[in-house]
Chains A and B, each alone.
Chain A
Amino acid sequence: DIQMTQSPSTLSASAGDRVIITCRASQNINKWLAWYQQKPGKAPKLLIYMASSLETGVPSRFSGSGSGTEFTLTITSLQPDDFATYYCQQYNSLPYTFGQGTKLEIK
């Protein structure tokens, strides 16, 4: 199975900050990576797919980059609504696997 490792596990930031979350795959997944946002008690929400494509309706302050085994999710100018947990997911091969999550907290 492909292991997905996110860093950091927890990130403290303030509104207006720019933050970067990293996701590493244990083997090459090309660009088959998605990012999700999840708030407590809610379902995940798709933000980014194919490593860098923004899902319809997602604000442009969210962006993704990377290919192969190293990927990043960048959020510029953090808004209060962005404080949540973020997960990466590889869909290069079965079983589809998620990172362990990065909790973005208010500093």
Chain B
Amino acid sequence: EMQLVESGGDLVQPGGSLRLSCAASGFSFNTYAMSWVRQAPGKGLEWVSGLSHSGDTTHYADSVKGRFSISRDISNNTLFLQMNSLRVDDTAVYFCAKDALPSPALTGYFFDCWGQGTLVTVSS
């Protein structure tokens, strides 16, 4: 069974940093692209960042470009999101999500497996 488990969410001050982790199991981690999607309290879903199945291509939403960095550790089947220069409006539950199609896919990413989410609160 496919499973994603996020960790690392915390309360952090504006301008601070945080590193989220997502442990994957039940599928071939280097066959699928992976993404981070966030949801501010009471709000909708926002795609934040994606990493290709090969790990050599990254994509970011404009709202986090230059501040967030996505990466992975293939040996431990773990996806990361390094978040720097955090702002109050980065407060959200952050979900790790697996692309539904094995790569190389001919389409963009949509997601058939999600973690339970980890809460990041940016506040002074």
Which residues of A are at the interface with B, using a C-beta cutoff of 8 A?
Answer: 1, 32, 34, 36, 38, 42-46, 49, 55, 87, 89, 91-101
Given contacts A43-B115, A46-B100, contact A34 B110 (CB under 8 A): yes
Within 8 A of A (CB), among B46-92: 46-47, 50, 59-62
Given contacts A32-B108, A96-B108, contact A89 B45 (CB under 8 A): yes
Q: Give Cα A30–Cα B9 distance, bound, in whole angstroms.
A: 37
Cβ-defined contact, A94 with B46, below 8 A = no
Counting residue pairs across A and B whose Cβ atoms lie within 8 Å, the total is: 60
Cβ-defined contact, A91 with B107, below 8 A = yes
Q: Give Cα A21–Cα B45 distance, bound, in whole angstroms.
A: 17
Q: What are 24 A-B interface contacts by the 8 Å CB criterion?
A: A1-B62, A34-B110, A34-B111, A36-B45, A43-B116, A44-B45, A44-B111, A44-B114, A46-B100, A46-B110, A46-B112, A49-B100, A87-B45, A89-B45, A91-B107, A91-B110, A94-B50, A94-B59, A95-B59, A96-B35, A96-B47, A98-B46, A99-B44, A101-B45
